[in-house]
Amino acid sequence: MMKFISFAGILILLTACTSVSVDSTWKDADYRGGPITNIAVRVIDHDPIVEALLEDRFCEELRKHGVTASRLPPTAVLDATSENEDSPARLAQPGVQAVLVAREADRQLAQIETEKSARIDQFTGGDPTRARRLIRASQDLEGWQCELRAIDSMKAFWTSRVDLRVEEIADRAEKLMPLAKTTVSRLQLETIISGSPH
């Protein structure tokens, strides 16, 4: 019976959804503005497909909270240079108040214990591919840093670090989707964005 329960637990682990947790947040104590109602989004990743999909998901989640959302062109220079022709202030759509920037902070794979690897073998039949997938399911961690910056000065007045346990590296964009919902929910929770739907 115990063997069946353990095996069921392994299967759940292999098929479980990505778990998301907020590691830390920071809000500028000097920020005196009201709720933001118009945000541009920029995701920075080594994979342009991930960038595009996540930007669309961020916009979708923001709109659910009554915020006007648009994608910031990838050519925008994310520096405090409002005079620069490539600055977010010039390239963003009219009315944008802030830019939400999301970027990968780090990725880590925990050390694998020999004893644990031996226990995994009894459920994977010694198949190294299945064993790697199981290990990743329990130990792969991807950290993301999200910042909300004022459109005119690009000064960050809110940041959040979000950790995601990722099942496997394949289909990475889909696994990162909860990042958008978690970040936007946190923004609304801290009353940085409007909470009234359209």
Predicted local confidence at residue 34, as pLDDT: 79
Residue whose tokens read 């978690």 = 182
Q: Is the pLDDT score of 27 beyond 60?
A: yes
Give 130's pLDDT tier (boundaries 50, 70, 90). Answer: low
Residue 54 CA, distance from chain mean position: 8
Given a contact cutoff of 8 angstroms between Cβ atoms, the answer to whether 69 and 41 are in contact is yes
Please state, rounded to an integer, the average pLDDT across all residues of the chain: 80
Q: Tell which wins on pLDDT, 198 or 185.
A: 185
User: What CA–CA distance (Å, rounded) separates 161 from 26?
Assistant: 9
Q: What is the pLDDT of residues 151-176, one digit of tens each?
A: 989 999 999 999 988 766 567 888 88
Give 56's pLDDT tier (boundaries 50, 70, 90). Answer: very high
Highest mean pLDDT among 31-35, 78-82, 105-109, 190-194: 190-194
Fold for the domain defined by 20-189 = Double Stranded RNA Binding Domain (3.30.160)
Q: How do the domains of the chain map onto residue ranges?
A: 20-189
Given a contact cutoff of 8 angstroms between Cβ atoms, the answer to whether 35 and 5 are in contact is no
H or E, element range at 38: strand 38-44
* Bridging pattern class, strands 38-44 and 98-109: parallel
Tell me the backbone φ, ψ of residue 140, rounded to 5 degrees: -75, 130
Q: Is 126 left (phi over 0), alpha (psi -120 to 50) or beta?
A: left
Q: What is the DSSP letter of 198?
A: -
pTM of the model: 0.76
